[in-house]
Amino acid sequence: MNRQALPGPARLLLLMAGCFLKESMIHKVLFTATMFFLLAVPAYAAIEPQSWQFTKQVQAQKDGFALIELDAEVLGHTRDDLADIKLSDAAGQEVPYQLLQPEFYKEETFPVQLIDNVVQENEFSSVTLDLQTGDHRHNRIQLDLESKEDYLRDVKIEGSADNRTWNLISSQKVFYVSPNYRQNDLSYPTASFRYMRVTIDSKGKNPLNIRGAKVKYVQDAGGLPLAFKGPDGPPALRETGDAAWHADSTSARAGSIIPSTLLSSRTDTRTNQTELIIDLGTKGYLINYIALQVDGGNFNRLINYYDTNDNRWRHLGQERIYHYQWPDYEASKNTLLLNYSGARFIKLVLYNQDSPPLNVENVIVWGDHQKILADLRQGSYTLWYSNSNSKAPQYDLSQFAQLVDKSQLAVLQPGHESVNANYRPKLTDNRWFLNIVTLLAALAIGLIILKNMKRKGN
């Protein structure tokens, strides 16, 4: 019997025993220790039906790559790392898959040339941006404005394919409040015009000097709306007959409303901080953003947000929400962009300072379920999950899954959850059991050594 096959602690004990035990006794101890560790240490197989607590059936309607959604039941019964998932075909053979990593936010900046930079005293300032080609999709302009004074100005955004015929894209506002609060980013429906023109109205004041600008394409899977009005989701993108306009389904999609419960809303009278705790029902959702419905206007509040599964709160970040409204002007932002795979509970802390607490009427969470990618044949598959001893699988698919275009793939919904009648939890699922057995084995070997020491002494 090969001693090197035993774990380190067993080899150490046997080495000590060898000083006092006869060769025949060593063989017996070797055999006993070997059998113990074979029984006590879990052996991992590709698919062991008795090792998985729950199953769901998945039906593939055609051959090829598909996405399988991990619903609330799967998320609720799996580990936080989602490593305890297996997929098998009708013959019971393991099927490779890849857990998709969320790509919430993608930003691309294009080189532009500033042409026709015009300043008309007391009237407007304007600049035309040439992207050199009409092949780029873009939806945001970031302005570099020079001004030493606070300002609030109307902005007109236009697009053109030939720098002669212009299409009105959007009318917005830019503002600056010293020392460092500014809004110079202009978002608009995705377009591919080569030329973009930005005109800032001066309203009889000194015109703003446009020192530079960046044109970007921002792909946000959350489709974050600036002002969220209700549970119907963000506004649809503008579509016209002009080929330079695009309905960008990716950036327009905000996922769906995740069922949630506002467990508590209380304001600490000592600190004047309002704390909101939200229960999503399970962990593991891909959270895009949280929208707060606030009764009232003209506020600007800092919010810190946290999450937890076990009452140990993890700080995720901070953001401001605001709502300004007066004659001729209204601007609001009542959403928190999270973009992460989160825990079950979320806590929001609003810092009211000396202002009255806000009346938060509702909190709505937008997001999506996690998904796995698999190359399937038409037929039935079994999704196995909940196994405390499983290791994260490593398939070749992980090396090229990012190359697969997932935008047009079918999303398969697993069936009803079934409790696996053949499930047999391994004794080593309980770490305490393995510790006790190891301790007893060590004590037994220690007693044998002590007994033989006494014999040799006699």
The SS3 call for residue 82 is coil
Give the sign of the dihedral formed by CA 186, CA 192, CA 194, CA 195: negative
pLDDT at 319 over 80: yes
pLDDT in tens, 426-441: 655 455 555 666 777 7
Cα 51 to Cα 387: distance, rounded to the nearest angstrom: 6
Mean pLDDT for the stretch of residues 167-192: 86
pLDDT band at 458 (very low <50, low <70, confident <90, very high): low
What does the pLDDT read at residue 241?
35
Virtual CA dihedral for 279, 280, 283, 286, nearest 10 degrees? -130
Range in 134-148, 242-256, 317-331 with the lowest mean pLDDT: 242-256
**Can you give the length of the chain in residues?**
458
pLDDT in tens, 24-35: 554 554 455 544
Question: Is pLDDT larger for residue 427 or for residue 337?
Answer: 337
Q: Which pLDDT value is given to residue 240?
A: 33
Confidence (pLDDT) at 276? 97
Residue 220: predicted pLDDT: 54
CB-based burial label for 55 (10 Å; 0-12, 13-18, 19+): buried
Write the single-letter amino acid at 376.
L
- Predicted local confidence at residue 19, as pLDDT: 46
Q: What pLDDT digit, counting tens, does each position of 49-69 carry? A: 899 999 999 999 999 999 999
pLDDT of residue 25: 55
* pLDDT at residue 21, rounded to an integer: 45
Q: 46-94+255-425 and 106-220 share one CATH topology? A: yes
Distance between alpha carbon 268 and the CA centroid of its chain, in Å? 31
pLDDT higher than 50, residue 182 = yes
pLDDT given at position 122: 82
Tokens of 115: 């042409």
The pLDDT of residue 183: 82
Q: Is the pLDDT of residue 193 over 70?
A: yes
**CB atoms near residue 364 (< 10 Å):** 19
CA distance 201 to 325: 20
Does 77 have pLDDT greater than 90? Answer: yes
User: Which residues face 87 on adjacent strands?
Assistant: 383
Is residue 169 over pLDDT 60? Answer: yes
Q: How far is Cα 257 from Cα 291, in angstroms, rounded to an integer?
A: 10
Percent of the chain whose pLDDT exceeds 70: 77
Domain boundaries in the chain?
3-42+427-457, 46-94+255-425, 106-220
What does each C-alpha distance from 78 to 30, 56, 100, 160, 434 come to in angstroms? 38, 13, 16, 52, 23
One-letter amino acid of 289? Y
- Checking if the pLDDT of 389 tops 80, the result is yes
**pLDDT band of 37, cuts 50, 70, 90:** very low
Better pLDDT: 183 or 350: 350
Residue 242 confidence (pLDDT) above 60: no
Please report the pLDDT score of residue 432 as a whole number.
Answer: 53
pTM: 0.63
3-state secondary structure 334-386: CEEEEEEECCCEEEEEEECCCCCCCEEEEEEEEEECEEEEEEECCEEEEEEEC
Amino acid found at 404: V
More confident residue, 383 or 231: 383
Q: Which of 234-238, 320-324, 373-377 ranks highest by mean pLDDT?
A: 373-377
Question: Hey, is 449 helix, strand or coil?
Answer: helix
Whether residue 226 has pLDDT greater than 50? no
pLDDT tens-digit readout, 395-429: 999 999 989 999 899 999 999 999 999 998 865 54
DSSP state of 161: S
Q: Buried b vs exposed e over 230-265: b needs ≥16 C-beta within 10 Å?
A: eeebbeebeeeeeebbbebeebbbbbeebebeeeeb
Q: Would you say residue 309 has pLDDT above 90?
A: yes
What are φ and ψ of residue 331, in 5° steps?
A: -145, 140
Query: What letter does residue 272 receive in the DSSP assignment?
Result: T
Tell the burial category of 294 from Cβ atoms under 10 Å away from its Cβ (0-12, 13-18, 19+).
buried
Q: What's the one-letter identity of residue 191?
A: A
CATH number of 46-94+255-425: 2.60.120.260
- Mean pLDDT over all residues of the chain? 81
Q: What's the average model confidence in pLDDT over 440-446? A: 76
How many other C-beta atoms are found inside a 10 Å radius of the C-beta of residue 87? 21
Q: From residue 34, how far is each of 52, 54, 441 by CA, in Å?
A: 27, 33, 11
Mean pLDDT of 351-371: 94
Find, among 335, 334, 357, 356, the residue nearest to 266 by Cα: 357
pLDDT at 178: 80
pLDDT at residue 236 is higher than 50: no
Q: Say how far apart CA 182 and CA 274 lie, in whole Å.
A: 26
CB 95 within 8 A of CB 374: yes
> Residue 347 contacts by C-beta under 8 Å, 6 or more apart in sequence?
275, 276, 277, 278, 305, 306, 307, 308, 313
Name the percent of the chain lying above pLDDT 90: 50
> Which CATH number applies to 106-220?
2.60.120.260
369: its two tokens: 């379920």
More confident residue, 348 or 441: 348
Residues 359/295, Cβ–Cβ less than 8 Å: yes
How far is the C-alpha of 349 from the C-alpha of 294, rounded, in Å?
14
Given a cut of 70, is residue 42 above it in pLDDT?
A: no
**Cα distances (Å, whole numbers) of residue 243 to 67, 130, 137, 159, 169:** 32, 18, 12, 12, 13
pLDDT score recorded for residue 177: 81
Where does 256-352 have alpha helices with state H?
Answer: none
